[in-house]
Chains A and B, each alone.
Chain A
Amino acid sequence: DTAVSQTPKYLVTQMGNDKSIKCEQNLGHDTMYWYKQDSKKFLKIMFSYNNKELIINETVPNRFSPKSPDKAHLNLHINSLELGDSAVYFCASSQKGQDYGYTFGSGTRLTVV
């Protein structure tokens, strides 16, 4: 059973398109996140949701909009894609009080051409 699953794994699209990445966790965690890993391999937090409530929104363009229909799902919608959006996007989840860290998905490699 995959703990944190993201779809799709690969996404190639043209500039200007709108795309979505889906994430689901079956761990019963109350917090979910989106991270972006650029070509230099730096991982940066984008958003964090706790029980469907947005609690962290880092300096991310308005073209990125997260949506959490329930605490097991956190989707990322990106409008008007740009070349600089090309990266690997990781979804993660955690539970307050746990001592085993965050659980990450396997990533979605987005390539904008």
Chain B
Amino acid sequence: LAKTTQPISMDSYEGQEVNITCSHNNIATNDYITWYQQFPSQGPRFIIQGYKTKVTNEVASLFIPADRKSSTLSLPRVSLSDTAVYYCLVGDIGAGGTSYGKLTFGQGTILTVHP
């Protein structure tokens, strides 16, 4: 799987928009980009997944440039409850994916939202 690089930690304040960028220079043609969120003492939770351009759901937006070598998770108007670890993953695990279990988690980005 393509290795990912993301900032170790980020700080923000309530109400701000937070953008977390992930680098994946070796992404393969069949790879999707997926983001997970993990709160303390809980399992990771799927946030969003995309292949190219922009994807938006009720929680976040995912921006993927044309070369797909990076992606940016955008969290609009964060609140204290968004304090968590955010993981960026790439792999052939999309709607047509076949890489069962090959989700490889990096160290993630610790996002701390301050009042």
Give CA–CA (A28, B42) in the complex, Å: 22
Which one of A31, A35, A42, A101 has the greatest number of beta carbons of chain B within 10 Å? A101
Contact partners of A102 in chain B: CB under 8 A: 44, 46, 103
Instruction: Indicate which residue in A40, A44, A45, A96 contacts B97 across the interface (CB closer than 8 Å).
Output: A96
Tally of A interface residues using CB under 8 Å: 31
Contact call B45/A104, Cβ cutoff below 8 A = yes
Give CA–CA (A105, B44) in the complex, Å: 8
Question: Which residues 15-64 in B have Cβ within 8 Å of A in the complex?
Answer: 34, 36, 41-46, 49
Give CA–CA (A4, B42) in the complex, Å: 12
Measured CB to CB, the closest approach of chain B to A51, in angstroms, equals 10
Measured CB to CB, the closest approach of chain B to A71, in angstroms, equals 13
Q: Which 6 A-B pairs have the closest CB atoms?
A: A104-B43, A48-B101, A101-B46, A43-B105, A56-B101, A99-B95
